[in-house]
Amino acid sequence: MAEVRLDGVSKRYGDFFAVREVTLTVHEGEFLVLLGPSGCGKTTTLRMIAGFVEPTLGTIFLGDRDITHLPPWQRNAGLVFQNYALFPHLTVAQNLAFGLEMRKVAKADIAPKVEEALRLVRLGHLGERLPRQLSGGQQQRVALARALVFRPDVLLLDEPLSNLDAKLRHEVRIEIRELQKKLGLTTVMVTHDQEEALTMADRLVVMNEGEVRQAGSQRDLYERPADRFVAGFVGRSTFLSGEMASGGRFVSKGGLAIACNAAGTVTGPATMALRPERVHVAPKPLAGLDNTMVGEVEFVSYLGAMLDVHVRVSPSERIVAQMPNRPDIFAPNVGDRVHVGWTADATSVFAGSGAAEEN
């Protein structure tokens, strides 16, 4: 296993930058997730590491080897494709043996290695089957075993779970993560599913429009989003636009003055993001919070374990509060006048007042 380092990597098609100046390091044994909406450049980045796309600018290192311009077959990276790409005319065992044969492993050593890899993904008994005789989950595990059997320097996963049904997906997430830890695999996974990213990653890189917006732990991204995009993409937020007033308060367009996090770093027009689950809702005045106000409940979505409560706090602004759905907790109805409140650290403020379209 080795470290992967991207240094100012860009990919340009004509005037369009698919990836723009991405610099990041995947540490040895780390599970790094590239997260972003479709078209954000995460898959292009992965394909540049695998060697299927050549960067326009920048350098890619695998360990201390500069692999920027090496063809895919000289890179020693194991890739699990979204559609698995198992060779349909070869048995499971032959699929696994392929990578070993290409590395000129002695015939006698191939069979035991293949067997070991199949045992690792709990498919020891299916070596003689053809891929089409396997279920989707089994094919996925064969693809994983095939990418691991030749001991790659880095494991690359391209939306590996998107073709599995929801229940299986939850199991396989944990399975892949445990395997990755056990073998100490340097891993880069691409996904657009934030829940998947949050469960599996050691560290996440959020991308949008070809650029890295923020890299960090789950907690970093969720509690200290670097910009409005990250605040909206990782978890949910209510956005209010307005400006920073003197005294470190955010004043919304609707005239609300809100005590908020990171005041002082932003001045002038600004956007505030508020996490719905950090908003308290009560029938009577709330104490001990930095911000409290009164509003009218306009909409309630019943989500089973949770309720989403939309509260009008000014003539032009609504905030969303998420509260647990429990019999011992107050459950507001549409039309109720309620007290809402939150602490300053439930908010983030970003320069520039974008439209508050999330309401």
Partner 1 sequence: MKQAASQQAGIKQSGAVRRQGYRFDRRRLGRWLLNGTAGLTLLYILTPLIFVTWLSFFRQEIPSFPPEGYSLKWYAAIPGNERFVSGFILSLQLGLISTAIGLGVGVPAALCLSRYRFPGREAINSLLLMPLMVPGIVLGIALYVFHVETEINTGLPILGSLLGLVTGHVLIVIPWTVRLVTASLAGFNRTLEEAAQNLGANRWTTFRRITLPGILPGIVAAAMFSFVSSFGNLELSLFLVGPGRTTLPIAILQYLEWKIDPTIAAVSVVQIALIAAAMLITDRYVKIARVV
Q: Which residues bind partner 1 (CB under 8 A)?
A: 50-52, 71-79, 81, 83, 85-89, 98-99, 102-103, 146-147, 150
Single out the residue of 256, 267, 290 nearest to residue 350, CA to CA.
267
DSSP per-residue string spanning 195-214: HHHHHH-SEEEEEETTEEEE
Q: What three-state secondary structure class fits 241? A: strand
Q: Residue 68 and residue 51: Cα distance in Å, rounded? A: 8
To partner 1, the closest distance from the beta carbon of 217 in angstroms equals 30
When the beta carbons of 142 and 201 are compared against partner 1, the nearer one is: 142
Closest to partner 1 by CB, 91 or 217: 91
Q: Give dist(CA 153, CA 2) in Å, integer.
A: 5
The residue (of 88 and 264) whose beta carbon lies closer to partner 1 is: 88
Of 16, 36, 19, 47, give the one whose Cα is nearest residue 211.
Answer: 19
| Minimum CB distance to partner 1, residue 145 (Å) | 12
Q: Please provide the distance, in angstroms rounded to a whole number, between the alpha carbons at the two ends of the chain.
A: 46
d(CA 205, CA 27): 13
**What type of residue sits at position 202?**
D
Closest distance between partner 1 and the C-beta of residue 85, in Å?
A: 4
Give yes or no for a contact between 24 and 60, defined as CB atoms under 8 angstroms apart: no
Q: What is the dihedral of CA 147, 152, 155, 161, to 10 degrees?
A: 10
Nearest to partner 1 of 23, 83 (CB atom): 83
Give the number of C-alpha atoms closer than 13 A to the C-alpha of residue 154, restricted to the C-beta side: 31
Among the listed residues 56, 57, 55, 45, the one whose alpha carbon sits nearest the alpha carbon of residue 210 = 45
Q: What distance in Å separates the CA atoms of residue 297 and residue 121, rounded to the nearest whole number? A: 51
Closest separation between CB of residue 121 and partner 1, Å?
Answer: 16
Of the two residues 101 and 195, which places its CB atom closer to partner 1 in the complex? 101
How far is 298 from 90, CA to CA, in rounded Å?
60
Instruction: Give whichever of 76 and 238 is closer to partner 1, judged by the CB atom.
Output: 76
Strand partners, 22: 9
Q: With respect to partner 1, which residue has the nearer C-beta, 71 or 283?
A: 71
- CB nearer to partner 1: give 90 or 344: 90
Partners of 294 in beta bridges: 339
